[in-house]
Amino acid sequence: MKVAKFGGSSVADSSMLEQVASIIESDQDRKFIVVSAPGKRYGEDVKVTDLFIQLAEQYDSGQNYEETLFKISQRFLSITEELDLSKDIVGRIENESRRLLRETTNSSHLMDALKAMGEDSLARILSAYLNKRGTKATYVNPKDAGVIVNSEPLGAQILEKSYEKIYQLRNREGVVVIPGFFGYTESGVLTTFPRGGSDISGSIIAAGVKADLYENFTDVNSVYCVNPKIVDKPKEIHTLTYKEMRELSYAGFSVFHDEALIPAFKKNIPVCIKNTKDPNCKGTMIVANKKDNGQPVVGIASDEGFSSIYVSKYLMNREIGFGQRLLSILVEENISFEHAPSGIDDMSVIIRTEDLKSDKEEVLINRIKNELQVDTVDIIHGLAMIMLVGEGMSNRLTVASKATKAFAEADVNIEMINQGSSEVSMMFGIHEHNIKAAVKSLYREFFH
């Protein structure tokens, strides 16, 4: 059995939904379908979820929201009409929205409930449409599916006990269509996952029903080995390990939110990223283990927005606990560090610049100066991290050599190198303005 998740671009209009239906019908194993809300149909189009957010905000601030509600209805109406489905579905969306606005007192609950309406409505539409096409399908609300979460500040987290209930979905007849993006707390409050939440829903369902495969349908043919915004038509990656995917998504690979991998990863369910518009293209498989194909590097990730805290103190290396005290100041300031290369009398701590509000910067510098009695402390901004990722890397002598050669050829100075802990990645710190030149040169070196 397979779980297939279709993203917003895959369900943006009726023609896409026809495509989705035929994809489902083309493979008996595609029993569990998870859907997002309709995304953009063209560049300036507005995602349905964003319309619902607008609706909630307008209501909150006492503005008139009728036009927004009308837009939402029209968006779904065009779909139902083109698919020749009953108008009741659209009527239900409008009534349900008004009911929520009327009855929900807690404004964050209201926001969640409205945000979820896009996915929920589309799941109802898709299951109706499948039945109309003669494919037995049932809409199942996440509460009935057993998606029980605890509400966290950073978004809902699935509860382990959910999986047992979800497993029961296997007993349902026909295709099961479940809206992504949200679950329910034990007290029955609808709660949404973080952005990219439908990927998480699909991953949870796949883990719960112990699927043979979790298919994640999106709008790209595969994961590329490097950011296509930097390198034109880069090579496709056909197989990735969870570990590789996770390291890649850490530094700028946005195809798939690595958090969404966790449920599938834990239950060892292979994931396949496919293109709805080109379902026969093999896509990218994400698996636990793969056989060595002699290619040490599978991908080059790059990300900007890092800063470095440089601290120097003569005879630092004689001071047991210096590094620990330095990091504990960061912890107390609630800053997580990415890397901490150290010399004999100096140490640098690489952090995300966003974690460093200007006032915090001053606090940090003063605390480090006063509490650690250092000779110098400097904060350098505008750093970028480039990460070479590949399971085959640990036993390849030449990776570091080829990489550093590529930087030199691109005239890019390496500010830092971090290799030695992860066996599947090697990290280089450079100045942001060099990022394109460096990535291009690395791509030439490893993929040509």
Q: Which residues bind a second copy (CB under 8 A)?
A: 243, 246-247, 250, 262, 308, 310, 315, 317, 319-321, 323-324, 327-328, 330-331, 334-348, 350, 395, 397-398, 400-401, 403-405, 407-408, 411-422, 424-427, 429
CB of 433 vs a second copy, minimal distance in Å: 15
90/410 with CB nearer a second copy = 410
CB of 321 vs a second copy, minimal distance in Å: 4
Give the C-alpha separation, 259 to 250, whole Å: 10
274/313 with CB nearer a second copy = 313
21/316 with CB nearer a second copy = 316
Q: What is the phi-psi region of residue 411: left when phi exceeds 0, alpha when psi lies from -120 to 50, beta otherwise?
A: left
128/245 with CB nearer a second copy = 245
| CA distances for 66 relative to 44, 50, 59, 223, 267, angstroms | 21, 15, 10, 41, 45
50/333 with CB nearer a second copy = 333
Give the C-alpha separation, 197 to 367, whole Å: 39
Q: Is residue 179 a contact partner of residue 216, using CB atoms and an 8 Å limit?
A: no
| CA distances for 177 relative to 65, 172, 377, angstroms | 30, 11, 56
CB of 428 vs a second copy, minimal distance in Å: 9
DSSP symbols for 125-187: HHHHHHHHTT--EEE--HHHHT-BEE--TTS-EE-TTHHHHHHGGGGS-SEEEEE-SEEE-TT
CB of 435 vs a second copy, minimal distance in Å: 16
86/328 with CB nearer a second copy = 328
Instruction: Tell me which DSSP letter residue 342 carries.
Output: B
For residue 423, the tally of other CB atoms under 10 A from its CB is 14
CB of 330 vs a second copy, minimal distance in Å: 7
CB of 424 vs a second copy, minimal distance in Å: 8
